[in-house]
Structure 1
Amino acid sequence: MATKKTVWYKVLDNKKELPEGRVKTVTAAHKGICLTHFEGKFSALDNKCPHQGGPLGEGSIENGMLRCPWHGWDFHPQTGIPPGGYDDGIATFEIKEEGDAVYVGVAEEDDHETTISDIMAETMVNWGVTKVFGMVGHSNLGFADAMKRQEEKGKLNFYGIRHEGAAAFAASAYGKLTGKPAGCFSIAGPGATNMFTGMWDAKVDRAPLLALTGQVATQVVGTGNFQEVDLVQAFGSVAEFNHRVQSDSKHAELMSLAVKHAILKRDVAHLTFPDEVQERKAKPNEATQTPEKRITSMEIAPPKEAVDDSLALLKKSKRPVIVMGHGARAHKKAIIKFAEQLKAPVVTTFKGKGLIPDNHPLGGGVLGRSGTPIASWFMNECDVLLVFGASFSNHTGITSKKPIIQVDFDPLALSKFHKVEVAVWGEISRTLELFQSGLKNNLDTIDQTREVAERWAIWKAEKKKRLLETSDEGVSSIAVFDTMNQLTPEDAVMCVDVGNNAYSFGRYFESKEQDFLMSGYLGSIGFALPGSMGAWAAVGDTRPVVAVAGDGGLCQYLAEITTLVKYKMPVKLIVLNNHELGKISKEQRAGEFDVWKTSLSNPNFAEFAQSCGAWGNRVDKQEDLTAAMKELFAQKGPAVLEVITDVNLI
């Protein structure tokens, strides 16, 4: 067998970096080396203790012996031989000194052999999962290494976050915006459980998401081992597809099925990778897979009877109103075109905000608790409601007193809470084609365009009155969103948090061509900042990304401002700081409870942003708001505008 070539690596630029009697860890290629300086000689030993793998370079020389920092076993610092003639010595490597530098010689590395993780990472990328948010750690290193190779090929972007919960929220936001899954990635145990909330956010909002978790060795699962949680069992309630990768799995097929479930079910898929599997060599002839001819078209036509019943109602209607929910996001252009044919107002759920611009002649704004009186007025005056992609949450408050035609791709969403006149199971755009074809010239609806303009005029006059309300405690929320109406880029992707800031946003911000993302049915505080990271990963620098958060929500994932800076994500974050969990205080009063434990002690968010390397500014007077917001949107990189607001002016 041929002797491998020795390759020399510089491990010290200057011998003074390692004084006599000291040790340190250095790296030669991928090899960890314990470098020692003992009795005037530099020596190189394998950095792993043969017993538990302890890092010898973190040990010390005591009484002429190198002591392992983990369990105290001794080795000679030059030869690696333990006292007493035991046969558990440490391998040594050649050393050479050139001037002040020290070099270590190690055998030339073998070419990388394809691992199970390589097969699965490449298959994941082939299926379109090219954005992953997560944290690399000791129980996911093998799969992380495989993703590194995909990133080096330019096929994957990995974003290292500061908290795994932010990774899951970012992946959820990406799925909501694009309809395609991103990945969130963690170690075993606490890293994985940190992702649970964001995974549920994706699940209940029907956003595809791929969760990838490391896992301790299979043989110790269930034994109470360090960081051991049975993640297949733990994620059984949230993941539609939920499997442990095994050495004998069909690895490419397993990854293909995970991504396929996420896409077609619009749900969460989870794979967990035991430590002993990740670096195992792939089977001979084991190949990756692609989605070619593996994904069916979703353009499913509804049953003829449902179409006929819908047409019968629409042909009799004089004042139809269309409701768009988040589930209609991919079909908004077709729905607006149909509304123009009907001359019918279009209102949205809060999650569907912006699916029709508020300045569209038929745009009626948001329906429900976070909405406008325009939307509720048209709902109450209509003679039929045509609902696309909405599930009738209490927050929206779609009345059951009007005849309803409900269209959705999910049969379980139809008539979910109460009976509707016509439940139409089908893909929205295909259903609209049948509606348009069936109606043709059989429409007798009135043109409600003028009424839309009239209701907007009434609401805008009311907003002007509210804008006059001021306070010495801070700026009013309506002033913040009125300024945003004037200055926010018209094509921005906007991520909104939970709380009073969200209610005010839904009510006062007038959408144009923006897209809006939020934690809808889960209503999880803290979504805005990590959600903006997912939005930026989706659109890059092609569109502005704006996050709107309250002080309570922002502090949940405040450290992710450093992530914005690290990856040069030019997110513009507006934080409404009223030093209170204002929505909870309001609910306590409404429930006739005492206001208790809702006050907050906050940092100066602008100064915090600056300390992270972002732009930051703070405003506490309404007259300074316009200039500050102009400056915010003029920044090229990540930027934070903190506005001190009055909790009572929402």
Structure 2
Amino acid sequence: MAKTVGDFILERMKGWGVKRVFGYPGDGIGGLVAAVGRDDGEDAIDFIQTRHEESAAFMACAHAKFTGEPGVCVATSGPGAIHLLNGLYDAKLDHQPVVAIVGQQARAAIGGNYQQEVDLQALFKDVASDFVETCMSPTQVRHLIDRAFRIAKSRKTVTCVILPNDVQEAKAVEEAPHAHGTVHTSQAYTPAEVVPAAADLQRAAEVLNAGKKVGILIGAGALGAANEVTEVANVLGAGVAKALLGKAALPDGLPFVTGSIGLLGTEPSDWMMQHCDTFLMIGSRFPYSEFLPKTDQARGVQIDLDPTMLSIRFPMEVALTGDSASTLRALLPLLKKKGDRGWREDIEKRIARWWKEEEERAMKDADPVNPERVFWECSSRLPDNAIITADSGSSANWYARALKFKPGMMGSLSGTLATMCPGMPYAVSAKFAYPDRVPIAFVGDGAMQMLGITDLITVSKYWRRWQDPRLVVCVLSNRDLNQVSWELRAMANSPKVPETQDVPAFSFSGYAEMLGLKGIRVDRPEQVASAWDAALAADRPCVIDAIVDPDVASLPPHITISQATSYAEAMLKGDPDEGGVIKQTIKRVFS
């Protein structure tokens, strides 16, 4: 029997399959920390000490993304709890199951303006809107933990349990008394297989069978449905575009996969969406309607497990609530194979041309190194089981376009929130979940300075325990908050503003060496390939410090008049990097 509530919480989490938690200690969570110290059995929960609570929440989110199981983060009361919020919002907006366990001051002090007392119910009410509760009695712990995990798993969302420190230290109550006003829960849980009604599947099939030019868009909801998506695409003679969170859902080597869509997308994806007459959207909440078919151009069918996300990006004719793989399997017998393959052949020709041109773009000269080349050279060297993460910003652009994912690879970044700083903690979390696989993180120097270098300290603490010690971090060092600089030029009619955009120089490779890791500096294009070879052959985690050209733009698949006008006005106003920007733009547009 558990000695304290803290001990009982650990035992209860083990029953939900929890093997590790990410967090940082403090007196507000002291009872749980003490229980971690007593938890020394073979099934002991692994407490991963991060350098910052924000990293802990990002790691919990990544754990959920890469394993499908709830991630758990732990923080103390007040400031520790506050620090979790950004990472928790990342999980909430990307629909990932994460349970946050946070400390609070003793029950008797609550409401007394006590030190580090924050209204945590109010603080977490939005990010954990489906379930946030404060444990005021040891008899509550069982059902609060059970409900937090059940709701997180079933609704794919963030939940939170707030624990006053005196409750954590109180004697455990294994089961509430059988009396009025008590709650009795178990850990029994089996996810439902959701498949649309037969009549709705028939309606969807009629729309898809009638189309002559079918375009498919898949997202994170299609992860695990690769075989079904491939079979449907082959029957319908369709091309398949991928939203950012669905990049790993299908390998890029398939001839009908058009790649990413949107501002970061490819020309084949854009062309397919502009010319299709039937649109099938599977497991995606892609938000940018300007990159989808025009509403009077195509008939639409959508599949999503969450009915609240149906028909909000495009006015679908048929909207199916269901799991992607199960729904596609039920739909397949109703589909008729397209005899005319001309549409599919046009798409495949465009894809082949795109990848050829992508290599040409990557190999263009820059000052000193073309960032696209850094990704392109990595792509052909990716281990078969690699797990790729990227930060928000220009690193996400090249991640979307220049990396060819292979079967069995995983990858993710911050999708809906598009926050800075998850690239590093995502990779670290992936390594704990899969110590025999190789995570590779692509991070800009802004995000690396903001939080990433602290995560390198976490790597230096734990790497010797990993089965395969390799973890590669590639930093795009351009001394510029590059994505925002380009957004100023393309959308705000403004040149780059040095006082807000310039990032101080920092030797990321030297810092890695100081921590006992491997560091490689790349400042010439001919060094890129050998740097990847060395990093992937290293006997320890490695940081590639790539000195890249901030003037190389990741151009959208089509440039609007407003974007062109804004860019021209920004240049006329005197951009500090005008010469390099114009030179690189000419190279990419006209050569």
- Name the residue aligned to 1:411: 307
Shift of 1:284: 6.5
Residue 454 of structure 1: which of 320, 324, 349 is its match? 349
Structure 2 matches for 1:478-557, cutoff 5 A? 478-513=372-407, 514-541=409-436, 543-557=437-451
Looking at structure 1, the residues matched to 109 and 208 of structure 2 have their Cα atoms a distance apart, in angstroms, of: 62
Distance 1:127 1:113, change over 3 A: closer
- Name the residue aligned to 1:629: 532
Looking at structure 2, the residues matched to 368 and 175 of structure 1 have their Cα atoms a distance apart, in angstroms, of: 26
Looking at structure 1, the residues matched to 344 and 199 of structure 2 have their Cα atoms a distance apart, in angstroms, of: 31
1:425 aligns with 2:321: yes
Distance 1:243 1:249, change over 3 A: farther
Distance 1:372 1:400, change over 3 A: same
Check conservation: 1:136, 1:186, Cα contact below 8 A.
yes
Q: Which has the higher contact order (CA 8 A, sep 6+)?
A: 2
- Name the residue aligned to 1:603: 506
Shift of 1:444: 4.7
Shift of 1:614: 1.2
Local SS of the residue matching 1:351: helix
Shift of 1:367: 1.1
TM-score under structure 2 length normalisation: 0.86
Check conservation: 2:270, 2:291, Cα contact below 8 A.
no
- Name the residue aligned to 2:84: 195
- Name the residue aligned to 2:223: 329
Distance 1:226 1:496, change over 3 A: same
Check conservation: 2:253, 2:405, Cα contact below 8 A.
yes
Shift of 1:573: 0.5
- Name the residue aligned to 1:227: 116
1:382 aligns with 2:286: no
- AA in 2 matched with 1:253: H
- AA in 2 matched with 1:612: L
Map Cα deviations across residues 258-287 of structure 1 (whole Å, 9 max, x no partner).
Answer: 001110000001011101100111137669
Map Cα deviations across residues 101-137 of structure 1 (whole Å, 9 max, x no partner).
Answer: xxxxxxxxxxx96111222211111111222110111
Shift of 1:623: 0.5
Distance 1:637 1:448, change over 3 A: farther
- Name the residue aligned to 1:364: 258
Looking at structure 2, the residues matched to 194 and 150 of structure 1 have their Cα atoms a distance apart, in angstroms, of: 26
Looking at structure 1, the residues matched to 39 and 316 of structure 2 have their Cα atoms a distance apart, in angstroms, of: 49
- Name the residue aligned to 1:158: 47
Distance 1:554 1:384, change over 3 A: same
- Bigger Cα displacement from structure 2, 300-309 vs 527-536: 300-309
Looking at structure 2, the residues matched to 396 and 608 of structure 1 have their Cα atoms a distance apart, in angstroms, of: 43
Check conservation: 1:202, 1:209, Cα contact below 8 A.
yes
1:354 aligns with 2:274: no
Shift of 1:429: 2.1
Map Cα deviations across residues 355-408 of structure 1 (whole Å, 9 max, x no partner).
Answer: 111111322111111111111122223221111111131288323432210100
- Name the residue aligned to 2:482: 582
Local SS of the residue matching 1:347: strand
Check conservation: 1:123, 1:290, Cα contact below 8 A.
no
Check conservation: 1:392, 1:398, Cα contact below 8 A.
no
Looking at structure 2, the residues matched to 353 and 326 of structure 1 have their Cα atoms a distance apart, in angstroms, of: 8
Shift of 1:418: 4.3
More strand by share: 1
Distance 1:498 1:125, change over 3 A: same
Local SS of the residue matching 1:548: strand
- Name the residue aligned to 1:272: 162
Distance 1:284 1:622, change over 3 A: closer
Looking at structure 2, the residues matched to 153 and 270 of structure 1 have their Cα atoms a distance apart, in angstroms, of: 27
- Name the residue aligned to 2:334: 438
Shift of 1:254: 1.6
Map Cα deviations across residues 552-611 of structure 1 (whole Å, 9 max, x no partner).
Answer: 111121111011111115321011100000111111122112422100103100011111
TM-score under structure 1 length normalisation: 0.79
- Name the residue aligned to 1:172: 61
Local SS of the residue matching 1:642: strand
Q: Mark the runs of 5 or more structure 2 residues left unpaired by the alignment.
A: 178-182, 554-591
- Bigger Cα displacement from structure 2, 151-160 vs 221-230: 151-160
Looking at structure 2, the residues matched to 286 and 180 of structure 1 have their Cα atoms a distance apart, in angstroms, of: 28
Looking at structure 2, the residues matched to 289 and 317 of structure 1 have their Cα atoms a distance apart, in angstroms, of: 53
Looking at structure 2, the residues matched to 119 and 395 of structure 1 have their Cα atoms a distance apart, in angstroms, of: 49
Structure 2 matches for 1:73-84, cutoff 5 A? none
Map Cα deviations across residues 508-535 of structure 1 (whole Å, 9 max, x no partner).
Answer: 2222232111000000011100111121
Looking at structure 2, the residues matched to 396 and 348 of structure 1 have their Cα atoms a distance apart, in angstroms, of: 16
Map Cα deviations across residues 65-93 of structure 1 (whole Å, 9 max, x no partner).
Answer: xxxxxxxxxxxxxxxxxxxxxxxxxxxxx
Check conservation: 2:215, 2:280, Cα contact below 8 A.
yes
- Name the residue aligned to 2:204: 310
Looking at structure 2, the residues matched to 236 and 407 of structure 1 have their Cα atoms a distance apart, in angstroms, of: 30
Distance 1:464 1:639, change over 3 A: closer
Map Cα deviations across residues 2-37 of structure 1 (whole Å, 9 max, x no partner).
Answer: xxxxxxxxxxxxxxxxxxxxxxxxxxxxxxxxxxxx
Check conservation: 2:63, 2:70, Cα contact below 8 A.
yes
Distance 1:148 1:451, change over 3 A: farther
Local SS of the residue matching 1:353: helix
Check conservation: 1:187, 1:213, Cα contact below 8 A.
yes
Map Cα deviations across residues 453-510 of structure 1 (whole Å, 9 max, x no partner).
Answer: 3112321332243234313x32011211111112121321111101112112212222
Check conservation: 1:315, 1:444, Cα contact below 8 A.
no
Structure 2 matches for 1:51-66, cutoff 5 A? none
Looking at structure 1, the residues matched to 358 and 326 of structure 2 have their Cα atoms a distance apart, in angstroms, of: 39
Looking at structure 2, the residues matched to 332 and 457 of structure 1 have their Cα atoms a distance apart, in angstroms, of: 21
Looking at structure 2, the residues matched to 478 and 197 of structure 1 have their Cα atoms a distance apart, in angstroms, of: 29
Shift of 1:206: 0.5
More helix by share: 2
Number of residues of Structure 1 aligned to a counterpart in Structure 2: 535
1:565 aligns with 2:471: no
Distance 1:291 1:442, change over 3 A: farther
Shift of 1:291: 6.1
Residue 475 of structure 1: which of 369, 372, 381 is its match? 369
Distance 1:488 1:559, change over 3 A: same
Select the structure of larger CA radius of gyration: 1
Check conservation: 1:344, 1:447, Cα contact below 8 A.
no
- AA in 2 matched with 1:446: R
- AA in 1 matched with 2:33: A
Provide the identity percentage.
30
Distance 1:395 1:148, change over 3 A: farther
Distance 1:474 1:249, change over 3 A: farther
Check conservation: 1:256, 1:289, Cα contact below 8 A.
no
Check conservation: 1:166, 1:198, Cα contact below 8 A.
yes
- Name the residue aligned to 2:7: 118
Looking at structure 1, the residues matched to 348 and 341 of structure 2 have their Cα atoms a distance apart, in angstroms, of: 15
Shift of 1:289: 9.8
